[in-house]
Amino acid sequence: MEGYVEHYNNVRLNSAVGYVTPKDMLAGREQEIHAQRDRKLEAARKQRQAIQPRIIKGT
Does the CA dihedral 52-48-13-32 come out positive or negative?
A: negative
Contact 9, 21 (CB under 8 A): yes
Type and span of the H or E element at 42? helix 30-57
pLDDT of 51? 84
Range of the domain at 11: 2-57
Angle at 18 (CA atoms; ends 17, 23), nearest 5 degrees: 50
pLDDT of 52? 80
| pTM score over 0.75 | no
Domains identified in the chain, total number: 1
Encode pLDDT of 1-47 as tens digits: 999 999 999 999 999 999 999 999 999 999 999 999 999 999 999 99
Using pLDDT thresholds of 50, 70 and 90, give the confidence band for residue 57: low
pLDDT of 7? 97
